[in-house]
Amino acid sequence: MDGPQVTVEEGILQGSVIRGYLDNSYIGFKGIPYAEPPLGSLRFKEPQPARKWSGVRDATEYAGDIAMQLKTYGPPPYEVLGSEDCLYLNVFSQKLEKNRPVMFFIHGGGFVEGSARGNIYREDYMMTQDIVYVGVNYRLGPFGFLNLGHEVAPGNQGIRDILLALKWVQKNIRSFGGDPNNVTIFGNSSGSMTTHFLTLIPASKGLFHKAILQSGSSFGMSNLVNPKRTDFKNGFKIASNLGCDSENPVEVLEFLRTVPGHKLIDMEGNILTRWERVICGKFEYGPVYDAYFTRDPILPVPLKYLLNNDANIPMIIGHTSDESLLFFTDQFDDVSLLHMYDKYIEDCVKNHLLLKDQTRFDDIMEDIRRFYLKDKPINKENWWNLIGLMSDMLMINPNRKIIDLRNKHCTRNAPTYVFNFSYLGNQSTFYQFDHGPQPLKGVAHADELSYMFYLTYMKENIEGDVYPEKESSDRKTIERLVRMWYNFAAFGNPTEKLDNYVTTEWKPIDQNNLYYLDIGENLNLKDDKNSENRKLYEKYRDIYFNL
């Protein structure tokens, strides 16, 4: 075989040189096993390190499969994809010489879908920079997060997968030219929630050194902020629907091990009611507080006791300007949904804000109705009022909570850089592509990913040029994002190097200024300190999120 070779602890890997869509080239090693396939008796168990192999392993193509999941993106049919043989990672490098910054990407997808493979997130844009890029697949849905409230199924196995992959990086990344002492983890949506979670838990200490949070935090997961809200019934509900009505977790687990994987995935739609999804903001699966039912917990104490653990970790944190647009995709004519929000908006606010002082709830609702809803009903004429409220509740105010906490306890060597992605360009985004064009135009949740990655499955259905011309605003936005993310990974400062694309100094927050970089048609440094949204948040911030 021709092509570059590297040696890792498990054996020799044969890679390839990849030609990117921006006329760049880089070295790729795909389908590297970091754990044993979690099949048979290993289903629902913590991952086991991969065994050694003999000879040279072909890493020119993806191996195994994506995590088993229900396909909900792109055109129909919506079917079960992937398999349980999914614990692989991919490594891409400009060169194999040593000590390049490592960027470790954790994909999003609500803990039930997504992949690190190039069929979704192709790394061409990121690989214009001098980094070593790692994309990891981890178990999703019931395979990664089944929780029966018992030591046989404590949940969090998907988190353990990622931790094992990070340990693999520490042992092996030098072979790819990476610096194990300069690892930046980053992700979007549930990948960002996981990234934030990893900055706080003791089990991840020393496995990475910087973090980038793109639209998601642990404070957005109610069962982490308030462990009493953790629902252990989901696994039992699945078993019952499949014919096992036992309340014994050991019996239920043994039964679920015998069920074909695709049937477990098919059950996802039966776990939560529409009320639970819309009004309660629940996830089918996700990380949980597991200290009560395992001797080796991922979360040994409630989250509120770990909030200072990121004090030495430099961080970028941000969101898009119209986050919640994505969550209403294809529902803008759904009168029943609007009626549900209008009738139960108080329950919705109560469930999302998780107030630790309910005596002030009436005051909060009065302010919310005045400021966000303009004292008007929630209906088709007033969509943007609801979008503004949900964007702040779901993403932006949880970010503000993190920013405030870090402003209090972070060391001088752990700056916090904040961004708002407001660029409305021409690239296909998850919001404007997955189910066709949407009537409301804005910058939705995950839109920035279209300017960080070549989103392959979207491009496949577009005729003509599939990447933006050099002088276009779209191309400038791509260059800005990947250069600033590289600067942060390499130097801890996203605008360490200014050039024709990165033209504005991005200042971190401090005690007097809540700086953020607005990434729009141009780069503009702004201050959130005196914004009206911020003022309303500050009025009640001491009782938000039960922290």
What's the 3-state SS for 246-282?
CCCHHHHHHHHHHCCHHHHHHHHHHCCCHHHHHCCCC
> What's the average model confidence in pLDDT over 82-95?
97
Please say if the pLDDT value at position 413 is more than 60: yes
pLDDT recorded at residue 316: 99
The one-letter amino acid at 148? L
Mean pLDDT in the chain?
Answer: 94
> What's the average model confidence in pLDDT over 160-176?
99
pLDDT recorded at residue 461: 67
Question: Residue 88: which pLDDT band, with cuts at 50, 70 and 90?
Answer: very high
Least confident of 45-49, 218-222, 372-376, 521-525: 218-222
Degrees to nearest 5, angle at CA 345 with 541 and 320:
60
The one-letter amino acid at 263? K
Q: Which residue, 210, 20, 207, is CA-closest to 129?
A: 20
Percent of the chain residues past pLDDT 70, beyond the cut: 98
Percent of the chain residues past pLDDT 90, beyond the cut: 82
pLDDT tens, position by position, 448-478: 999 999 998 887 766 655 678 888 999 999 9
How far does the chain reach from its first CA to its final CA, in angstroms?
Answer: 56
pLDDT recorded at residue 470: 84
Please say if the pLDDT value at position 219 is more than 80: yes
CA 516, 519, 525, 527 dihedral sign is negative
Please say if the pLDDT value at position 251 is more than 70: yes
**Per-position b or e across 327-336, b if 16+ CB within 10 A of its CB:** bbbeeeeeee
> What's the average model confidence in pLDDT over 114-120?
92
pLDDT recorded at residue 234: 81
Please say if the pLDDT value at position 75 is more than 70: no
Does the global pTM surpass 0.95?
A: yes
pLDDT recorded at residue 23: 87
Please say if the pLDDT value at position 503 is more than 80: yes
Q: Which residue, 336, 328, 320, is CA-closest to 450?
A: 320
Exposure of 73 by Cβ count < 10 A (0-12 exposed, 13-18 middle, 19+ buried)? middle
Could you tell me the CA-to-CA distances from 489 to 6, 122, 492 in Å, in that order?
23, 19, 6
pLDDT recorded at residue 1: 58
Helix (H, G, I), strand (E, B) or coil at 35: strand
> What's the average model confidence in pLDDT over 286-306?
93
